[in-house]
Structure 1
């Protein structure tokens, strides 16, 4: 179990809040979520090398922006996955994974070895029961559309509400219910 300074497991929010003063806090957050994030990214991209690049940039951006994390808006894990989705979308638009955050932090590029790629593929094989695309596909259409628009596309609630011709409150409720269903499914897969 991952324990904090007082023998109690620290939340992602606490780790993000403390990472500027305690580098081990960010290391703990990284260890807690890197495998799940890599599985998700390989499922989305189908390419371990690309998934590794997106994962590295995701954690670099998270480290840079840790002071912007707001626990009232959702769990730290969801925040990381939202950043990953943004890195993926940006990369698709540019035709390559951006590395600005990694450069600003002085993180040198890392060439993946065959062993690295094999480890990523093993993670994917171990997590076959947690295919994010399948989890979202099984949501009711209204929740799936709201979750994809808000979490993957990072669109504002007002814009989604206008497109769906419903109130912002309805969109927030659909996103909340959809994410609750996904959290429950992921928890069952452990």
Structure 2
């Protein structure tokens, strides 16, 4: 589905939801739940309980704020991911002073760990999630596209209206920022 078709379809669904059509809400929910769940689990570093809570809170917030969604500004999926990212950032800001793990984070592998693997080490998962929450949106977006959505560089470049070289450079800077965040959190560990 191209961009214009997506905008049109989501505009129709949005108007229907605002008019009280439960089927329209179910269509938006069903089409976006899996992608949101994968995204949140990645952002949580595999901490499934935090991920589940965040997904639930994200959908509750989306229901309360559905009037603010504007399909012309971006897709519904991007909108709910933004809500989830903000919830996680707020959570980690509140915990930042008291959070910290012991043990060194293997940041090179951490960025692409499946949720199950990261969940085995809660401290590492907390560091990963906090580091991802601290990244600028542009870095998080390109890392998500590469490691969660498993998109090739050329496709990421096309979706962001950039050249593949620009995306490779952005990925490099994003990985470095993630590594610095992880190392900084190691330095804060007791």
TM-score range, shorter chain: 0.3 to 0.5
| Larger RCO, structures 1/2 (Cα 8 Å, 6+ apart) | 2
Q: Give the TM-score taking structure 2 as reference length.
A: 0.46
